[in-house]
Amino acid sequence: MGYSHKLVFDERLYDAQVLQKAAYRSMNFLTVDIAADKGMFICALSSNIGVDELSFLSAVQEFKKDVLDYQLRHQLSTETQPIKNLILGLAFSKTGLISE
Amino acid sequence: MSKFQKLEFYAQQRPYELLPFKFDRLNDDEYVITNMAGEFHVIPSPMLEPIIRKTLPLSSELIPTLRSKQFIRFTNEQAPLQLLALKIRTRLSRLAQFTNLHIFVVTLRCDHSCPYCQVSRQSESKGEFDMTTEMADKSLDFVFRSPNPAIKIEFQGGEPLLNFEMVRYVVLEAKKRNIKEGRDLRFVIATTLSLLTDDMLEFCKRHSIVLSSSLDGPMDLHNANRPRPGRDSHQRFEEGLKKARAALGYDQVSALMTTTDKSLPRARDIIDEYLRLGFDGIFLRTLSPYGFAIKTKKFMSYDTERWLEFYKEGLEYIIELNKSGIRFVEQYSSIVLTKMLTSGDPGFVDLMNPAGAGIAAIVFNYDGSVYASDESRMLAEMGDHTFRLGNILMHSYEDIILSDQLLDALENSFTLSAPMCSDCAFEPYCGAEPVYHHAIHKDVVARKPESSFCKRNMAIFKHLIELMESDEQTKRIFMGWANRC
Amino acid sequence: MLKLGGKIIRIHAVDVHKDLTLLKVAASRNLPEVLRREMAYLVSDHQIPRGFAHYLLLEKHRELFEVLPPDSDYSLLPNDYSYIGDGDIVRLSADRRTIRVLFRASAPNNSILITEQCNHYCLMCSQPPKAADDSWLLDETENLIPLIPKDTPELVFTGGEPTTNRERFLKIISLTKSYLPRTAIHILSNGRSFKDPAFAEKYAQIELPDAMIGIPVYSDDPTLHDYIVQAQGAFDETLQGILNLKRLGQKVEIRVVIHKLSVRRLPELCEFIARNLLFVDHVALMGLEMMGFTRANLEELWIDPIEYKDTLSKSVGILAKYGMNISVYNHQLCLVNPDIQPYYRKSISDWKNEYASECQSCKKQRECGGFFASGVKFGYSKHLVPF
């Protein structure tokens, strides 16, 4: 018997990539079909074969937390990309004395 | 005195800048955050978003530590950038030295027939499973092509002592060549010790060869794991150990355990056996999925959860021992802790990123074939030659090192490019493991949510962090292990 | 505590125009005449050799002035100076009214003050900075170095901030290399000048054979460090200086003065040092000196060492686990835990040691560093317990 659940995310608040990453992370328990409709992402979550209801519900909860986490990661990563390149440049430079 | 300014005068007024870091949930209440150099800090879950959205007040208790561990900085500060860069550079510097470990499989013959072994059950007498001198010479050419100033040659098998003539040949040949090369050259023989003779010990002593042996636990467990005609594997091990230590020096013989179903309920017994025989550490290994393990479905009969219980129980006991003043290390944890607590690279082939295959280790098989790692060889014995890089008699150093099999595997398994791995807070502590993932999942990257390698390692990382957070003394003990004190 | 400088009782100067301000002291009667002309003889009995540039007479030997060679330059010194000995170097002021002992051959190490100017204003500074031009100190140092015995084991350059005048500092370092190639040199600096890669490079190029720069870092929290040294941006520059010096292969020591402000994050600081500055050559953890600015800021700084002994043990433990070289200075043995023992050093400067009245019966007095004289006078732990 398969279980399912539907979640809706506002396109203005969440990136598609974020939902995909969260989906990837949950794939041991469920699969996620993502569709876009009128500025919203519709996520249809379905349990994998052999997953019981409790495990599925836990996995749905984890999926929601993961979406929040990945959204934060996205913001963090975008903001720190330039300084990350600077630091790596310093790390690999011959003189190591490049200043900002 | 009015000449002195108050503390507030020196406090930062403008908002801070974020430095690159990663995070993951440690448990229901906390997150682990890790900086670019792999240093971690544990924060209460509600603090994560304010830190990233920069709504955290500048008077917060967290600010000094976030600065000091380079998760944030204030504009124009240069020291945090230079310190991070230096630590990253230090961590990666070992990579440039390239291959250190060269494994010579001198024979497949063995006097044991262990169910989990990757090598076929050959009898002791067949000569066709031995390495030839021509292969050995060509392999040594390859060895000295490595730019690493330190070279380790490890003899494996089967049982290398069954082809001691080849061990002798390679050692003498290598030393001869090293007169000109001037490397830090070391030798190890992986052996059960059951066939050691005085002549062999004499040779080992003369050339400072170290022995690496196997001890699975107390006699009943060890013998059950390692059947041998005579059913006396453990006794022979113990005798061989005494002899070898007397001849070569107490520390010149190390022991590795293999974990099987039978080992899982016996963590304390196994550690006690190591203590009894005077070892100062143990490597709580997982069961490899290769060789006979899969053939006989041994691997299927235990799962990651049960192994983790075994590991945690063993580690708990070892920490107790340390607290009562006994010096005893758990080596896998030690390797991980080196990555967590220092900028050093423990150089452990199985937990490297980029993968250790080819870069850190290479295997010359008895039949002339060259493999990217020990696991690659085991896989080949089961019929999967994906990671066979070539043949020492037919291919050049460049052919082998630059082969697509190797480069593709390295590139594709690189964790910083892999889904889920690239965002993972524990990525600095983890390894790429392309061969394992290929073996189980038919994909060098594999889907990490399904990977027991991922599940196991993540559980270990979280466990070690939680232990350090909850007990100061444990943290101190771990610092010692991480620095090999 | 030894008196190093002060008024002379009386001086008989034959030729005040003779520019002999720095003089090496001799107690030996047998020196050749060519050397006597440059030195000061320390009179101790009736046998007084002729031909010295100057004679030093202690008050307790004042009757001996009658036996001095006729027309000698001499100074009559208070008995406080009876410690002066062979090989010491003294400066007589130009007006011949004061004497200062600049170098003591018998001391385990000698400190040379090269300037009192400083870009910091540490709350616990034992040598409070002065803004006035004191380049004469640099001149004097340049004259002093050639006189210092070549077998001197160790020498400390201090201030203020010794690198304030960069060119003169480099010149002094060069002179030191030239005249004292076998002496271990210790330079106490806040390290900020070395943030400039060109300056760090110039220092490194001198290639002192055995030198270490001691640089204070008081907290892993930049704001707290800046506050303690009373200088904005100090932490960031000091760290950059340390990194530049280590990149050039120079020896660096991290110094931490432990007081109420720095002790709170002391373990975090030690973890910071172990993770970020593992390559430094030495870490020195020091007790508070009751001199200079400390007394003005006592409320904020003073903490009885017995209250932080466990924190100290924890901090030292971290550095030790990472295999760093550690020394603990300026603490009394009864106020630290036994695990500090391997790192406990008796003292820095012998001219500052004293003991409190509680210490009279203590069996471990000889192993203990005691106190700075300032400590005995102005305040120390209420928990002293003799062994």
- Interface predicted TM-score (ipTM): 0.89
Looking at the structure, tell me whether residues B25 and B112 fall in a common domain: no
Whole-Å CA distances, B71 to A76, B21, B26, B118, C64? 11, 6, 18, 45, 73
- In angstroms, the Cα distances linking B408 to B372, B395, B415, C204, C363 are 12, 18, 13, 46, 72
A96–B85 C-beta distance less than 8 A: yes
> Look-up: residue for tokens 């480069």?
B407
Together in a domain, B127 and B226: yes
How close, in Å, is residue C3 to chain B by CA atoms?
29
Q: Is the pLDDT of residue B401 over 90?
A: no
- Model confidence at C374, in pLDDT bands (50, 70, 90)? low
C92 within 8 A of C99, measured Cβ to Cβ: yes
Average pLDDT over residues C236-260: 97
% chain C with pLDDT above 90: 62
Rounded distance between C-alpha atoms, residue A49 and residue C334, angstroms? 70
Closest CA to B35 of C296, C30, A80: A80
Average pLDDT over every residue of B433-447: 71
Per-residue pLDDT at C131 exceeds 70: yes
- Interface list for B 40-99 with C (CB within 8 A): 64-65, 67-68, 77-79, 82-83, 86-87
Query: What is the chain C residue with the closest CA to A97?
Result: C197
Q: What is the average pLDDT score of chain A?
A: 89
DSSP line for A7-58: EEEETTTS-HHHHHHHHHHTTTTEEEEEEEETTEEEEEEEEPTT--HHHHHH
At residue C290, what is the residue type?
M
Question: Do B73 and B129 belong to one domain?
Answer: no
Whether B237 has a pLDDT exceeding 80, the answer reads yes
Residue in chain C closest to B77 (alpha carbons) equals C236
- Please give the pLDDT value at position C351: 56
Q: Which of A20-24, A44-48, B352-356, C110-114 has the lowest mean pLDDT?
A: B352-356
Check residue B289 and give its pLDDT: 61
Q: Does C197 touch chain A (CB under 8 A)?
A: yes
Compute the mean pLDDT over every residue in chain B, rounded to the nearest whole number. Answer: 88
- Given a cut of 90, is residue B288 above it in pLDDT? no
Residues B34 and B183 in one domain: no
B449: pLDDT confidence band, cut at 50, 70 and 90? confident
Residue closest to B70 by CA, chosen among B83, B89, B86, B53: B83
Question: Which residues are bridge partners to A7 per DSSP?
Answer: A43
Confidence of residue B209 (pLDDT cuts 50, 70, 90): very high
Same domain for B151 and B76, yes or no, is no
Give chains near B: 3+ CB pairs under 8 A: A, C
Residue B187 lies in a domain: yes
Average pLDDT over residues B197-221: 94
Are C296 and C303 in contact by the 8 Å Cβ rule? The answer is no
Range from A17-26, B314-323, B460-469 carrying the lowest mean pLDDT: A17-26
Which residues of A, range 79-98, sit inside 8 Å of C by Cβ?
A: 96-97
Q: Which chain A residue shows the shortest CA-CA distance from C244?
A: A97
Per-residue pLDDT band for C119 (boundaries 50, 70, 90) equals: very high
- Partner residue opposite B483 with nearest CB, options C220, C227, C322: C322
Give residue-wise pLDDT tens across range C216-235.
Answer: 999 999 999 999 999 999 99
Q: Which positions in chain A touch B303 (Cβ < 8 Å)?
A: none
Q: Does A69 touch chain B (CB under 8 A)?
A: yes
Quick one: pLDDT at residue C222? 97
With respect to residue B368, please indicate whether it lies within any of the assigned structural domains: yes
Per-residue pLDDT, A95: 57
CATH assignment of the domain containing B166: 3.20.20.70
Phi, psi of C228 (to 5 degrees): -60, -40
Q: Report which residue type is found at B380.
A: A
Same domain, B66 and B112: no
Average pLDDT over residues B5-12: 93
Mean pLDDT of C57-65: 86
- Token couple for B111: 């006097």
B70-74, B302-306, C32-36, C186-190: segment of lowest average pLDDT: B302-306
Mean pLDDT of B133-143: 94
Residues spanned by the domain of B302: 98-326+349-404
C331-356: pLDDT as tens digits: 988 899 999 999 999 865 555 567 77
Q: Which residues pair with C156 in a beta bridge?
A: C111, C186
Q: Specify the amino acid at residue C340.
A: I
Residue of A nearest to C196 (CA): A97
Query: How close C270 comes to chain B (CA, Å)?
Result: 11
The answer on pLDDT for C371 being more than 60 is yes
Q: Are residues B262 and B228 in the same domain?
A: yes
Note whether C247 contacts A: Cβ–Cβ < 8 A.
yes
d(CA C101, CA C78): 13
User: What percentage of chain B carries pLDDT values higher than 90?
Assistant: 60
| pLDDT recorded at residue C188 | 97
Lowest mean pLDDT among B19-23, B71-75, B91-95, C78-82: B91-95
Residue B280 is predicted with a pLDDT of 94
Whether B300 shows a pLDDT value over 50: the answer reads: no
B27-32 contact pairs (CB < 8 A, 24+): B27/B462, B27/B466, B32/B425, B32/B426, B32/B462, B32/B465
d(CA B161, CA B243): 15
Pairing of strands B361-364, B101-105: parallel
Same domain, B141 and B82: no
Helix (H) or strand (E) holding B113: none
- What percentage of residues in chain B have a pLDDT greater than 70? 92
What Cα–Cα distance (Å) separates residue B79 from each residue in B76, B365, C277?
A: 9, 49, 12
Write out pLDDT tens, residues B144-192. 999 889 999 999 988 999 999 999 999 999 999 999 999 999 999 999 8
Please tell me the least confidently modeled range out of B79-88, C30-39, C246-255, C364-373. Answer: C364-373
**C359 touches C337 (CB < 8 A):** no
pTM: 0.90
Tell me whether A87 touches chain B (CB under 8 Å): yes
CA triplet B204, B206, B207: central angle to 5 degrees?
A: 65
pLDDT at B372 over 90: no
Rounded Cα distance between B188 and B461, Å, is 30
Please state which of the four CATH numbers 3.30.1360.150, 3.40.47.10, 1.10.150.110, 3.20.20.70 is assigned to the domain occupying C110-378. 3.20.20.70
Question: 């007095």: which residue's tokens?
Answer: C365
The DSSP bridge pattern shows strands B21-25 and B30-35 to be antiparallel
Q: Are B79 and B87 within 8 A, CB to CB? A: no
CATH 2.60.40 fits A4-68, yes or no: no
Does B370 lie in the same domain as B271?
A: yes
- Which carries the bigger pLDDT value, residue B281 or residue B484? B281
Q: Is the dihedral of CA C307, C309, C314, C318 positive or negative?
A: positive
- Do B132 and B79 have their domain in common? no
The DSSP code for C68 is S
* pLDDT higher than 90, residue B292: no
pLDDT of residue B83: 96
Q: Which residues pair with C372 in a beta bridge?
A: C353
> What CA–CA distance (Å, rounded) separates C377 from A67?
65
- Where does residue B206 rank: exposed (0-12), middle (13-18), buried (19+ CB within 10 A)? exposed
In A, minimum Cα distance to B50 occurs at A72
Q: How far are the Cα atoms of B153, B281, B346, B468, C23 from residue B322, in angstroms, in the given order?
A: 33, 11, 22, 14, 61
Per DSSP, B286 falls in state: P
What backbone torsions phi and psi does residue C205 show, to the nearest 5 degrees?
A: -65, -25
For B103-122, the pLDDT digits (tens) are 999 998 888 777 767 665 56
* Structure confidence by residue, pLDDT tens digits, C290-304: 888 999 999 999 999
Residues B355 and B378: their CA atoms lie apart, in Å, by: 17
Shortest Cα–Cα distance, B154 to chain C (Å): 30
Per-residue pLDDT at B297 exceeds 50: no
Contacts of C254 in chain B (CB under 8 A): none
User: Does residue A1 have a pLDDT over 70?
Assistant: no
- For residue B381, the model assigns a pLDDT of 77
Residues B230 and B133 in one domain: yes
Task: Enumerate the residues of chain C whose CB falls inside 8 A of the CB of residue B5.
Answer: 227, 230
Highest mean pLDDT among B313-317, B393-397, B431-435: B313-317
* Within-domain flag for B449: no
Mean pLDDT of chain C: 89
Choice between C13 and B358, residue whose per-residue pLDDT is larger: B358
- The residue ranges of every structural domain in chain A are 4-68
What is the DSSP pairing of strand C184-188 with strand C39-42? unpaired
Question: CA A92, CA B270: separation in Å to the nearest integer?
Answer: 45
